[in-house]
A and B are shown apart, each in its own frame.
Chain A
Amino acid sequence: MGYAGFVFANLLRNPLRSALTGSAIALAVLLVCLLLTMPAGLDALLTRVASDTRVGVINKSGLVFWMPYSLMRKIRGLEDVADAVGMVWFGGAFEEQGKVTFPSFAVEVDHIPGTYPDYNVAPEALAAFARYRDGAIVGRQTMRKYRWKVGDRVTLRSNLWNVNLDLRIVGEIPRDSSPIVWINREYLDEAIKAQGQPGLGIVMIVWVRVPSADRVNSVMLRIDELTRNTDYETTSQTEKTFFSNFLGSLQGFLQILLMVTGLVSLCIVFIAANTASMAVRERAGEIGVLRAIGFRRRTIFAMLLSETVVLSWLAGALGVGLAFVVTTSLSRLGGSIAALGPLGGFIVTPGVIVQGLLLSLAIGVFAGFAPAYGAARRPVADTLREVF
């Protein structure tokens, strides 16, 4: 029997115990993976969504402090600005599904293609967006969530502007995680004027595309210089910084999440160590015999250790697999069950899979080391004397 066979045979010697330990490890790895998907999901989201050649410009005082629409012309006139689009928060709610909202913005339609070439919106969708005043381009996440299709008509209500807009979906942003809805700025402007109020006249965020990454800093400086000493001083950031600041206030919760992840990992180490020490203690006599017939300490140590490692790694792989299944089905359900909230939004990334597998490997090593080392080190004579 080879060493590998020996290890597996030993694992199967007490199947109930191995199964219990294995399930405990699998569950814990599942849990850790699920917890890790949150920060990892946020991070992945940022890298996927955010570009470093796009700059966001907002009023230095905060998003709710607006900027005059005339700023757009000035920004587009700057050197190294490939294109820029001004956006106004629409805050549309889809009333058929209760009061759910998603990030929806009124945008300058003509400047979308130049600012968002990386979104790969289909050219015919962009053409239709330019043609129909009531057109809307919707991110794939929102499309799937409400089972909308291109060509559908939906009504969104904005409490901020106190209007209902009937929209025609003319295209989608082909990104799985995009919840965004873009509507035509002029359409909103008209609707507001129709109520006897002055038109929009403002922008809340300006997105600027810079042709190359090395000019981003100088463009940001120039924009902020442009508005210095006006009463709408701006602050410019790359898209990535912008989003990570926006999510910044989740940091406290994430820290606790990571702390709990650490606690849970420690937990499994204890469980696995417990099992390993039980196994070693029961087999003390056997180990003594192995040593007596000439097996080296190193070999015995390696065999005992690999027993724990193999168990925890197999269980860990099972846990990672489960995490994958759970998050996939959650994100499917997320669309139909609003109560799941942020739970539906995260998927297991390759990074999480690697972390989960590494974690289970580490658990095996930490848990198995002390018992295996102790057993291998024990003088043969002592052991045999105890047994016989």
Chain B
Amino acid sequence: MLPLSYSVRNVALRPLRSLLSVAVIALVVVACSLFLGLISSLRRSFISSGDPMNLVVLRKGSDNDGASQLTREAAASLHYLDGIAHNAEDVPLFSPELVVQPFLQTRNGGRENVLVRGVEPIALEVHTGVRVVEGRMFRPRLHEVIVGKAMVGRYEGAFLGGELHLGRGRWKVVGIFDAAGSSLESEVWADVEELAEDSRRPTPYSGVRLRAASGAELDRLKAHIDADPEYALEASREVEYYAKQSETANSLYILVVAIAVLAGVGAGFGSANTMYAAVQSRTAEIGTLRALGFSRGAILTSFEVEALTLSLAGFLSGVVLSLLLAAALRRVQGGIAFTSSTFTTNLVTLSIGVGDLAQACGLAVLIGLLGGLGPAYRAARLRPIEALRKA
């Protein structure tokens, strides 16, 4: 067996050419991990919005808050159902909500549809991940709102003490809330009664969120609501509801995998080129090694290791580059805007996770293995006599 250092030092022997191959692989890794990071961030922003103990109740057939309408009576019919969890003051954790999608001016002069959720103060206890981190919760009837963290800086007036022009009115921002990076951070929360009045909706609510006392109660509540003939409602687990919202991420994922594989194969060709040249320029050396008694397998392995060294170096520099790029993007652009199924803007903070890097690493290793295979095979097949004669 040839020592590992032989392969590694051979890489350093032709610095410029190795550097180019490393750069190619690094760039592929950057492209791949940026995209994968974006998609997993998008997915995470939805998935983390749901709580396993919560139910979303909408009108039957509606697949999101924005497309559902609920009357006051329908909401009231659910308020005191058995099995709903209660807080310390014995108030049911039951949040009737109205979702509207008005325009909001962005600071660069455009405007975007944003999701405004009309709630009652109890909503802070039903949506477990939401915490007001600056200022305070809005007080009903005063045209006050709280805004999600991701919106700050992107929209005109979206800061503590600012004023938002939403719908027909002007609303004072009295608080900023954090929702652990979930899509709720791209929302504005206002008093549900005021919002219904402002948007002149024929029905005051679009849906209800409620928290079950236990897992068994959750199943029972869901069955009970789905079966109720009077109001034609449909309860879904909040987690599943948001998982469905993240389906856009899946078709993007197909796109990204296709891109990554294409780019990876291209880089593999480039890496094969470099390795072929290495084999060619070391023909005499390989002949000598074979004459010394190193087996074909040893030569094959040593060239594969060389190719892998290249791709690992590429992967490592790619990781550093992509993490830097992601940080720069976060700083310059803030969240990256996606349109969600409610036609509103979901701001996703790009972060590249370990899982994304692992996938990029897999790609880099694949490039190395496939790119090195042909050249290594050629090197191993060289007949020692001919190889030496050529020298």
Q: Which residues of A contact B (CB under 8 A)?
A: 16-17, 20-21, 23-25, 27-28, 30-31, 34-35, 60-66, 91, 99, 157, 159-160, 162, 231, 245, 248-253, 255-256, 259-260, 263-264, 266-268, 270-271, 273-275, 277-278, 339-343
Contact, CB under 8 Å: A248 / B110: yes
Known: A274-B17, A339-B251. A65 touches B200 (CB 8 A): yes
**B274 on the A face (CB < 8 A):** yes
Q: For A159, give its contact among B28, B68, B168, B336 (CB under 8 Å).
A: B68
Cross-chain contact A27 with B269 (CB below 8 angstroms): yes
Point out the residues of chain A lying under 8 angstroms from B23, CB to CB. Answer: 267, 270
Question: What residues of B have a CB within 8 angstroms of the CB of A17 in the complex?
Answer: 273, 276-277
| Stretch with Cβ within 8 A of A (4 or more), from B58-66, B74-82, B127-135 | B58-66
Contact A63–B267 (Cβ < 8 Å) = no
A340 surroundings in chain B (CB, below 8 A): 251, 254
**6 A-B pairs (CB sep. < 8 Å):** A20-B273, A21-B270, A23-B266, A159-B62, A253-B38, A256-B38
Mask for B35-64, Cβ within 8 A of A = 1, else 0? Answer: 100100000000000000000000101110
Measured between alpha carbons, how far is A159 from B167 in the docked complex, in Å? 23
Whether A24 and B59, one on each chain, are in contact in the complex, defined by CB atoms closer than 8 angstroms, is no
Chain B interface residue bracket vs A: 35 or more
Cβ–Cβ contact B248 & A341, under 8 A? yes
A282 CB, min distance to chain B CBs, angstroms? 8
Q: Is the Cβ of A339 less than 8 Å from the Cβ of B263?
A: no
Contact of B113 among A62, A253, A260 (CB under 8 A): A62
B155 within 8 Å of A (CB atoms): no
Residue among B23, B28, B200, B273 with most chain A CB within 10 A: B273
Q: Is the interface of B mostly helix, strand, loop or mixed?
A: helix
Q: Which of A16, A65, A255, A274 contacts B270 (CB 8 A)?
A: A274
Report the bound CA distance from A159 to B274 in whole Å: 59
User: Other than the known A248-B112, A253-B336, A277-B17, what 9 A-B pairs have Cβ atoms closer than 8 Å?
Assistant: A62-B101, A64-B199, A99-B63, A252-B335, A264-B27, A266-B27, A273-B20, A278-B277, A340-B254
State the B residues within 8 Å of A (CB).
16-17, 20-21, 23-24, 27-28, 30-31, 34-35, 38, 59, 61-63, 66-69, 100-103, 110-113, 166-168, 199-200, 248, 250-252, 254-255, 259, 262-263, 265-267, 269-270, 272-274, 276-277, 329, 333, 335-339, 343, 345
A24 near B34 with CB under 8 A, answer no
Q: Which of A17, A28, A249, A273 has the most CB of B within 10 A?
A: A249
Q: How far is the CA of A91 from the CA of B63 in the complex (A)?
A: 12
- Most chain A CB within 10 A, of B16, B61, B250, B269, is at B269
Most buried by B among A27, A160, A268: A27
Which residues on the B side are within 8 Å of A248 (C-beta)?
110, 112
A205 to B165, CA, bound (A): 21
List B contacts of A16 (CB < 8 A). 276
In the bound complex, what is the Cα–Cα distance between A179 and B20 (angstroms)?
46
A252 touching B333 in the complex, CB below 8 Å, given contacts A62-B113, A267-B263, A340-B254: yes
CB distance from B330 to the nearest CB of A (A): 12
- Assuming A24-B266, A27-B269, A267-B27, is B102 touching A64 (CB within 8 A)? yes
Interchain CA distance A64-B114 in the complex, whole Å: 11
Decide if B269 touches A263 in the complex (CB within 8 Å). Answer: no
A57 to B164, CA, bound (A): 23
Most chain A beta carbons < 10 A, residue from B38, B255, B270, B272: B270
Partner of A263, one of B27, B38, B69, B100: B27
CB proximity of A49 to chain B, nearest CB, Å: 18
Which residues from chain A contact B16 at a C-beta distance below 8 Å?
277
Contact across chains for B269 and A159 when beta carbons are under 8 A apart: no
Report the separation of the CA atoms of residues A271 and B275 in the bound assembly, to the nearest whole angstrom.
Answer: 12
Inter-subunit contact B20/A159 (CB<8 Å): no
